[in-house]
Amino acid sequence: MIRAPRATGRWVWDQRGEGRGVRVSAHSEAGFLVLSTWKAEVCVATVRLLPAEAAELVAGVTAELASLAVPPAGALDEDVEVRLSRVEAALDELRSQDS
């Protein structure tokens, strides 16, 4: 088991807590990037990536993140319908005030 050298790399902590996180660190002397998974200050797994592999991972993360930003099918239509109903109700109210 490897203990976390907290001063190096970039950390992202897991929402679940318990010291879970991922550390990203560059090893320029060896030409690779290391992703390490941690729990309670103990390294439980590592992955070494060449720059092209790291770029592929970043592209995948970006694509998946973008998919989270797109509302599920039907959600946009429902939102448009709700807004349209509000506009129609406001127009009806304005028309009744003019009468």
Task: Enumerate the domain spans of the chain.
Answer: 2-71
pLDDT over threshold 60, residue 1? no
Q: How many CB atoms lie within 10 A of CB 15?
A: 5
Residue type, 82: V
Residue 31: predicted pLDDT: 93
Rounded to whole angstroms, how far apart are CA atoms 63 and 58? Answer: 9
The closest alpha carbon to 20, from 7, 2, 5, 36, belongs to 36
- The burial class, CB within 10 Å (0-12 / 13-18 / 19+), for 73 is exposed
Mean pLDDT of 43-59: 95
pLDDT over threshold 70, residue 77? no
Mean pLDDT of 56-66: 93
pLDDT over threshold 90, residue 18? no
Per-residue pLDDT band at 74 (split at 50, 70, 90)? low
pLDDT over threshold 60, residue 85? yes
Fill in the DSSP letter of residue 10: E
